[in-house]
Structure 1
Amino acid sequence: MASSNFIDYVKICSRSGRGGGGSAHLHRDKKTAKGGPDGGDGGRGGHIILRGNSQLWTLLHLQFRKHVIAENGLNGGPDHSSGAQGHDEVLEVPLGTIARDAETGEVKCEITQHGQEIILTPGGRGGLGNAHFKSPTNQTPRYAQPGEPGIEEWVVLELKLLADVGLVGFPNAGKSTLLSVVSAAKPKIANYAFTTLAPNLGVVAYRDYKSFVMADIPGIIEGASEGKGLGLRFLRHIERNSMLLFMVACDSPDIAEEYHVLLTELEKYNPELLDKKRILAITKTDMIDEELEEEIRQTLPDGLPTVFISSVTQKNIGQLKDLIWQALNS
């Protein structure tokens, strides 16, 4: 899918409905001259609601919808008739969507499950009719409550992809190729930097009908945490991955140093990312022999689960899946 179709950040003006006013009606008919207060309550203003939808993976459908406005509640009427509630506006969003106050940055809510509904901006309450204010000392109240006003606020919706495994690596490390081999995803693949301009998700089949979700995050470069390249824009998606698969090509001048740079960029962006489980995959090993592979192995960090793979020849792809599954379930 083209990068122009992947939208992970939108800013909207959310305005909930005003509550309807209560009625100050006094009952009168041809048989009753002074029937007392019978004003009904006003209806609640419409809410702005977020609803999780697992079939969505982008906020594209909200990109040009800058103003979301719910209906006002209707006023109460005579004979204790309540006003109708304002129609709620429901925004379907992909799982992993966070709503923030645009001014303060405070997180208002997040959607993580299909069908989950959260009121983003509550509608104003309807006012009480004068029937509620009748008392022995005030038997004909001629007043009622007005409805509460709705709320108007600017809200940022930010998507952080939910995946089990996040692929982390410099451009041309082979992330897209691996994803295309182990899943049905068809990311764009070419021999130049930043082929992937938007995250791609793929479901990886494992043994006994098990599976896990893998996310190909666009290539990070040194300085990504400071806004260089594409990394800063998509680093947020790594935050939601259960574990990280670092990928470094075997023809890198210094594999250990490249891994360290990637780790440093993640730490600068969010130190908590270093708490995630990590696996290192050395890619494109169909280009080297066993002797060179062993030399590379001697230079790698101790204690880091490492596997030498080739997406082209399928070398050690099964072993990689085993390591990932063990990490996800340990």
Structure 2
Amino acid sequence: MFVDKAKIFVKGGDGGDGIVSFRREKYVPEGGPSGGDGGDGGDIIFRVDEGLRTLMDFRYQRHFKAERGVKGRNKSMHGANADDMIVRVPPGTVIIDDDTQEVIADLTRHDQEVVVARGGRGGRGNMRFATISNPAPEIAELGEEGQERWIILELKVMADVGLVGFPSVGKSTLLSVVSAAQPKIGAYHFTTLTPNLGMVDVGDGRSFVMADLPGLIEGAHQGVGLGHEFLRHVERTRIIVHIIDMASTEGRDPFDDWLKINDELRLYDGNLERRPQIIVANKMDIPEAEENLSAFREKLAAYEAERAVETAASGGGDEGDDQAAEPLVREVVAISAASKQGVQELLYKVADLLDSIPEMPLVEEVVEVNERKIFRLNPKDDQQYTIRRDNEAFVIDSPSIEKLIKRTNFGSIDGVQRFARILRNMGIDKKLRDLGAEEGQTIRIGDYEFEFVERI
């Protein structure tokens, strides 16, 4: 089964906790603090594996959680960092944040990778907090929580050649003739519901990957007939092979078919109009096809002449002018996929065109720097906060303070005092007094509530 979309949950590993410990060797009667730091949690990393072709594996596993870092140890020994979790995806996978719909990464190359959920940093042990005024601190940080999010995976087929056209024009038949692929073939619309890939051997030492994409219909760019599910796979192809039923077996005009499909491609993505395209006149073994082909060539020539006039009138088609942009190739090749007439000539033309254009399709890659962010207790950039009233309570909104709360061990008096000292140094105590906070009033920070206490 071909699966080209999946929604999964990812969570980086939590950092290990730092510990409170003191030296207790025989000849060190007043040993100092020796609590080690916790290890960092593992990252969730997506890596491209060119051996994969679908997102099938994500139908059975939808939750991915990396291991947490190891807790710190005594004698100043740090806990081990957790191993990163590597998740393999096929080339052509687009990773999207489900909440913001932001594209996290567009993975196209083998072994390309991106961090989609970072592990938390390990907490610091008490040896990190020793000062002249407090040489034996009983303070240790908890490990930072790993990043978690729901993401959407969308697969856009990576193929050199994409076969497009109305349903039942012979796309699957052509793929079955030129490759070892065995797509379902039937005399009814939408026989093909998912893309089929086949490796095509031209016969002169050259080869390429061809994709039989499900048939398009009018309104596909608006999602009609699962249009979006089909059209997104065209984006990855280097060449479009536009197959037309030149025998008009279903009573449609071949030239009208060509115009409608091109309109759908253009309306979905303007770049597809400029994608190299070869027009394949199929079913030429049927008597009516020759007459229709002659009429098609005449209409195509008139259309090209009309567009040339429009281009000249608009200023010669300056670069970046979408109205003047033309497909690079509009060559018509007559074949019969059923009898294999003209098929070899088509393969030669496709291979020659592939040799003359860039190796990979133009795709926008979103690069994420794979560097672990270092947690800082009180950097200037993290001193931003807002205070607002919520009935009788004061609410403090600050991501940095919420992060600090999660890393503070409130079971330790030293930890509580340190937390209060940081807030006081940030000016929060003074701001609360200015806003009218009184002894015993509730202060809410994230999911935590505290009582306001006047410091004497």
Q: State the TM bucket, normalised to the shorter chain.
A: over 0.9
Q: SS of 1:294's equivalent?
A: helix
TM-score normalised by structure 1 residue count: 0.93
Question: Residues 249-286 of structure 1: CA distance to partner in whole angstroms, max 9, x if unpaired?
Answer: 11233111111100111122111211211111011111
User: Corresponding residue for 1:263?
Assistant: 262
Partner Cα distance (2:259, 2:338) in 1? 26
Question: Residues 162-219 of structure 1: CA distance to partner in whole angstroms, max 9, x if unpaired?
Answer: 1111111011010001111111111011111111011001111124422111111101
Aligned pair partner of 1:48 in 30, 44, 55: 44
Unaligned runs of 5+ in 1: none
8 Å contact from structure 2 (residues 38, 124) kept in 1: yes
User: Corresponding residue for 2:117?
Assistant: 121
8 Å contact from structure 2 (residues 165, 242) kept in 1: yes
Question: Residues 124-151 of structure 1: CA distance to partner in whole angstroms, max 9, x if unpaired?
Answer: 1112223334455543333233221111
- Does 1:316 find its partner at 2:312? no
User: Corresponding residue for 1:233?
Assistant: 229
User: How do residues 108-187 of structure 1 correspond to structure 2 at under 5 angstroms?
Assistant: 108-136=104-132, 138-187=134-183
TM-score normalised by structure 2 residue count: 0.68
8 Å contact from structure 1 (residues 219, 230) kept in 2: no
User: Corresponding residue for 2:300?
Assistant: 300
User: Corresponding residue for 2:284?
Assistant: 285
The RMSD of aligned alpha carbons is 1.9
8 Å contact from structure 2 (residues 35, 75) kept in 1: yes
- Higher-Rg member (1/2): 2
Partner Cα distance (2:30, 2:51) in 1? 59
Aligned partner letter, 2:271: E
8 Å contact from structure 1 (residues 218, 230) kept in 2: no
Partner Cα distance (1:167, 1:270) in 2? 17
Question: Residues 218-270 of structure 1: CA distance to partner in whole angstroms, max 9, x if unpaired?
Answer: 01111111222132212111111111111111123311111110011112211
Distance 1:235 1:35, change over 3 A: same
User: Corresponding residue for 1:325?
Assistant: 351
Q: SS of 1:103's equivalent?
A: coil
Q: More deviation in 146-155 or 174-183?
A: 146-155
User: Corresponding residue for 1:65?
Assistant: 61
Q: Shift of the alpha carbon at 1:94?
A: 0.8
User: Corresponding residue for 1:274?
Assistant: 273
Partner Cα distance (2:261, 2:333) in 1? 17
Partner Cα distance (1:227, 1:268) in 2? 12
Distance 1:24 1:221, change over 3 A: same
Count of residues in Structure 1 that have an aligned counterpart in Structure 2:
326
- Does 1:14 find its partner at 2:10? yes
Q: More deviation in 101-110 or 300-309?
A: 300-309
Partner Cα distance (1:55, 1:182) in 2? 22
Aligned pair partner of 2:88 in 88, 92, 97: 92
Question: Residues 87-117 of structure 1: CA distance to partner in whole angstroms, max 9, x if unpaired?
Answer: 4332221111111010211111122222333
Q: SS of 2:300's equivalent?
A: coil
Distance 1:91 1:291, change over 3 A: closer
Q: Shift of the alpha carbon at 1:53?
A: 1.5
8 Å contact from structure 1 (residues 255, 300) kept in 2: no
Aligned pair partner of 1:188 in 176, 184, 190: 184
8 Å contact from structure 2 (residues 255, 296) kept in 1: no
Which structure has the higher relative contact order (CA within 8 Å, separation 6+)? 1
8 Å contact from structure 1 (residues 283, 311) kept in 2: yes
Identity percentage of aligned residues: 43
8 Å contact from structure 2 (residues 40, 81) kept in 1: yes
Aligned partner letter, 1:266: L
Q: SS of 2:149's equivalent?
A: strand
Partner Cα distance (1:156, 1:203) in 2? 29
Partner Cα distance (1:136, 1:62) in 2? 55
Partner Cα distance (1:271, 1:219) in 2? 20
Aligned partner letter, 2:196: N
Partner Cα distance (1:181, 1:15) in 2? 46
- Does 1:198 find its partner at 2:224? no
User: How do residues 235-254 of structure 1 correspond to structure 2 at under 5 angstroms?
Assistant: 235-252=231-248, 253-254=252-253
Q: More deviation in 60-69 or 256-265?
A: 60-69
Unaligned runs of 5+ in 2: 305-328, 357-456
Q: SS of 1:237's equivalent?
A: helix
